[in-house]
Structure 1
Amino acid sequence: MPEHQARIRVGGPGAAPDVVGLHPGGFSAARVEDLYAEAERLGYDLALSTLTRTRDEKQAVETLLDSRAEALILLGAEAPAARLASLDRQLPVVVVVRRISTAQLNVVRASDDEGLGQVVDHLVELGHRSIAFIDGGKGTIASDRRRGYRTAMRRRRLASQIRILSGDHTEEAGTRAAHQLLAEDGLPSAVVASNDRCAVGLLSALIRSGVDVPGAVSVVGYDDSVLSRLACFDLTTVSQNARQQAHHAVAAAVERLDGERSAPREIVLAPHLIVRGTTAAAP
């Protein structure tokens, strides 16, 4: 191990490095594995501090700080930008997934606007016009994806078809959206969910109700989670290049620790659509 070896701690919707990282409950174990692999490659250890139903982001971060973390990698941090900037004055902070526009911080994320644009383009090219979107709720990530859907629909001259259903990033939200749609006179020909978990809830509820997916309704998720790759779901989704995010996040933290970079920077990666079995030509 190198002489400068440190522990990287991860915690909940955020991450912390010596490098320490912070992992939110909503992010997959695969993303954390990518961080572990990248940290190990550079000779660092990673410690994890996660969120639970009774343990919030503040507690997860404080646990890492109490253990003398040297840096923080925060996955999808929900804290206000001012709070994150205050933390960054104490030790290096790298925010992953979330866009931060009001503070100078190291940020690694994918372009959600572009990702939703790829989804809408794919569906329109399949002949879809009635394309609904299940919202992700509060927070910057959900806001960016909601805006990306609206922008893409307007760009494709489908502003009159914009429809946003209330939701969040859980399977239950997808189930509720399915029941709402099924109670109406007609279904949209395609539904895009703000993340894969929501899409899986939607998909399962539609199939249980006898709806042919993708014959009658196409379904798209977002994140390319392990769930989306299961044969029983085979979900069309968007990859955020999680491995590249892990690479850049750990590298940014290590650069700060080694004094190689003092000015914060934002790294925005291009997402890419992954077409699987839940999308087809519009009926």
Structure 2
Amino acid sequence: MDEVGSARGRNGTNRRPRLEDVAARVGVSTASVSLVLRGVPGPSERTRQRVLAAAAELGYQADRTASLLASRRTRLLGVMVDIHSPFHAELVEHLHTAAEQVGYDLVLSTQTRTRDEHTAVETLLAFRSEALILLGPTAPADTLAALDGKAPVIVVGRRIADAKLDVVRTADDEGVGQIVDHLVERGHRAIAYIDGGKGVIATDRRRGYRTAMRRHGLDAHIRVLHGDHTEAAGERAARHLLDGADLPTAVVAFNDQSAIGVLAALSRAGVDVPGEVSVAGYDDDTLSRLSCFNLTTVSQGAEEQARYAVSAAVERLDQDRTEPREVVLTPHLVVRGTVAEPA
């Protein structure tokens, strides 16, 4: 039997030990017990030791929810996350760490194929999240600005023109440009790009590809294929390339998931990567690092983005910062085994 169970047995009840039980065991007021457990000066050292010993013996644990409600603070940061995104999963892990370091916790609300952003955000507000950290939202900027009137909003991963709220992101166009620069340095000219569909993030990465190709005088080789953020889209685009007359020597995909779809389609067709076609993605998510993929990609700095996002939330909540702020981080190329010089 564990300590809590033992304490309950000794008390002759099945309820959780309360502050009053600790006070009764020591023979002091509940106020004194509260001061000791919160580390507030006042009670004598002898009283403090007796309270701590009694709390341990009884298996008493502070009711965090009740204390937060009493202070009218929840210290919860609401996070909207796309359940299908490995990169978002990594961001959430780092957000947890950053939040715990400053005394906050997270509430997660998922965005799925059948659950839209509005529903996810309303759930976060219903749980009394003090600030909202939205990962790659697609809602219009004015909608996000209006939401900021209900709770501080920190947008992660997306550029917002004339932002009236906090934004933490990387320079997506620059990141794709780094991939194209690297491929050109290796001797590639016929470089195709698989698009990410609608939205600001997709627009920025597409622009980065076109700008870099033109910078290298490769206007005639610009080729953008329809796609989205899924492996299936990468496979479809790769099959389209395989059905064409000439394969490009390199393919850049909107994200790592799409790039993995490209790798799967090329493998089934017997096309060697990187011997015949080089492939690169974007995000540096956990799948890209697996030895079976070993994907060349671009890192967005998930840990750094998470740290800045939590810091922005805390500044809005605890330091009364009202002016919006945009943090733009520089992405960096991660070279692995799917890129080589063209045959």
TM-score normalised to the size of structure 1? 0.93
Counterparts of 1:103 and 1:245 in 2: how far apart (Å)? Answer: 17
Counterparts of 2:220 and 2:84 in 1: how far apart (Å)? Answer: 33
**Structure 2 gap ranges (5+):** 1-37, 40-67
**Residues 106-127 of structure 1 deviation map (CA, whole Å, 9 limit, x = unaligned):** 0000001110111011000000
Counterparts of 1:193 and 1:156 in 2: how far apart (Å)? Answer: 19
Partner residue, 1:22: 80
Q: Which structure has the higher relative contact order (CA within 8 Å, separation 6+)?
A: 1
Distance 1:149-1:258 versus aligned 2 partners, 3 A rule: same
1:7/1:46 contact within 8 Å kept? no
Alignment partner of 1:191 is 2:259: no
Alignment partner of 1:38 is 2:94: no
**Residues 29-87 of structure 1 deviation map (CA, whole Å, 9 limit, x = unaligned):** 21110111111111111111011222111100001111121110000011110110001
Alignment partner of 1:166 is 2:255: no
Partner residue, 2:13: none
Distance 1:155-1:5 versus aligned 2 partners, 3 A rule: farther
2:84/2:112 contact within 8 Å kept? no
Partner residue, 1:73: 133
Match of 1:263 among 311, 323, 333: 323
Counterparts of 2:219 and 2:102 in 1: how far apart (Å)? Answer: 48
How many angstroms does 1:26 deviate by?
Answer: 4.2
Partner residue, 1:15: none
Match of 1:248 among 308, 316, 334: 308
Partner residue, 1:281: 341
Residue aligned with 2:188, SS: coil
1:134/1:167 contact within 8 Å kept? yes
Q: Which has the higher strand share?
A: 1
Amino acid at match of 1:133: Y
Residue aligned with 2:321, SS: coil
Counterparts of 1:113 and 1:45 in 2: how far apart (Å)? Answer: 33
Residue aligned with 1:89, SS: coil
Distance 1:264-1:211 versus aligned 2 partners, 3 A rule: same
When the two chains are superposed, the root-mean-square deviation of aligned CA atoms in Å is: 1.7
Residue aligned with 1:235, SS: coil
Amino acid at match of 1:174: G
Counterparts of 1:53 and 1:186 in 2: how far apart (Å)? Answer: 35
Counterparts of 1:191 and 1:236 in 2: how far apart (Å)? Answer: 11
**Residues 86-116 of structure 1 deviation map (CA, whole Å, 9 limit, x = unaligned):** 0111110000000010441100000011101
Counterparts of 1:183 and 1:19 in 2: how far apart (Å)? Answer: 48
How many angstroms does 1:7 deviate by?
Answer: 5.1
Counterparts of 2:277 and 2:73 in 1: how far apart (Å)? Answer: 50
Counterparts of 1:6 and 1:71 in 2: how far apart (Å)? Answer: 11
Match of 2:197 among 137, 146, 162: 137
Partner residue, 1:121: 181
2:107/2:129 contact within 8 Å kept? no
**Residues 141-195 of structure 1 deviation map (CA, whole Å, 9 limit, x = unaligned):** 0010000000111111111110000000000000001110110111000000000
1:131/1:161 contact within 8 Å kept? yes
Counterparts of 1:6 and 1:133 in 2: how far apart (Å)? Answer: 48
Match of 1:156 among 213, 216, 238: 216
Amino acid at match of 1:21: V
Structure whose CA Rg is larger: 2
Counterparts of 1:20 and 1:101 in 2: how far apart (Å)? Answer: 24
1:7/1:47 contact within 8 Å kept? no
Match of 1:108 among 168, 180, 192: 168
Distance 1:205-1:5 versus aligned 2 partners, 3 A rule: farther
Alignment partner of 1:214 is 2:274: yes
Counterparts of 1:26 and 1:77 in 2: how far apart (Å)? Answer: 14
Residue aligned with 1:104, SS: coil
TM-score normalised to the size of structure 2? 0.77
1:82/1:103 contact within 8 Å kept? no
Alignment partner of 1:93 is 2:153: yes
**Residues 183-233 of structure 1 deviation map (CA, whole Å, 9 limit, x = unaligned):** 011100000000000000001110111001000000000000001001110
1:133/1:149 contact within 8 Å kept? yes
2:163/2:324 contact within 8 Å kept? no
Distance 1:103-1:182 versus aligned 2 partners, 3 A rule: same
1:7/1:20 contact within 8 Å kept? no
Partner residue, 1:176: 236
1:5/1:44 contact within 8 Å kept? no
